[in-house]
């Protein structure tokens, strides 16, 4: 597991005025990092989960409030079910505009890829509940 430092983030970001959050990988999967420009965004609140980093921002120029989640779902079914519960908790925490990005390791319908029916149902169930 790599240790993330301000110096490391600065080498990626290239500037000095940034904020960041991270969660380490488990083995070779699942590590997440979220970096933002503090000249543009003000961090209002955060929620760090096992498989997601969620933040609430206020835009510096107009103070518009919005949420951002960076997520990485586990490959195995039980872990993904826990991931969807985690994401649902974030949705309940933040009712405003919300951007969700990442790797969900799920599909919405069988036409996207050939997998078993259980995997396709997971994201459909979440989409229908939203």
Both structure tokens of 33: 């990092």
Q: Residue 3: what pLDDT? A: 77
Q: Residue 27: what pLDDT? A: 73
1 inside domain? no
Q: How many domains does the chain have?
A: 1
Q: Residue 63: what pLDDT? A: 94
Cα 22 to Cα 127: distance, rounded to the nearest angstrom? 26
Q: How many CA atoms lie within 13 A of 37 on its CB side?
A: 8
Question: Which stretch of DSSP H or E encloses residue 126?
Answer: helix 117-129
pLDDT per residue, tens digit, the chain (130 aa), is 467 777 888 888 888 889 999 998 877 766 899 999 999 999 999 999 999 999 999 999 999 999 999 999 988 888 889 999 999 999 999 889 999 999 888 777 777 665 556 666 666 676 666 6
**Domain enclosing residue 84, as ranges:** 6-129
CATH of the domain at 90: 3.60.10.10
45 inside domain? yes
52 inside domain? yes
Q: Residue 5: what pLDDT? A: 78
Those residues whose C-beta lies under 8 Å from the C-beta of residue 102, and which sit 6 or more positions away, are: 32, 52, 69, 70, 71, 72, 73
Q: Residue 107: what pLDDT? A: 72
Q: Residue 2: what pLDDT? A: 67
Cα 102 to Cα 38: distance, rounded to the nearest angstrom? 22
105 inside domain? yes
């Amino acid at each position: 597991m790599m240790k993330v430092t301000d110096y490391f983030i600065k080498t990626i970001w290239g500037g000095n005025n940034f904020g960041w959050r991270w969660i380490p990988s488990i083995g070779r999967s699942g590590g997440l990092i979220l970096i933002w420009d503090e000249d543009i965004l003000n961090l209002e609140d955060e929620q760090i989960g096992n498989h997601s980093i969620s933040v609430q921002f206020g835009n510096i120029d107009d103070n518009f409030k919005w949420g951002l989640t960076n997520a990485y779902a586990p490959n195995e079914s039980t872990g993904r079910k826990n991931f969807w519960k985690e994401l649902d908790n974030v949705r309940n925490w933040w009712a405003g505009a919300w951007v969700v990005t990442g790797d969900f390791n799920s599909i919405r319908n069988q036409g996207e890829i050939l997998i078993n029916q259980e995997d396709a149902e997971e994201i459909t169930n979440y989409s229908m509940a939203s």
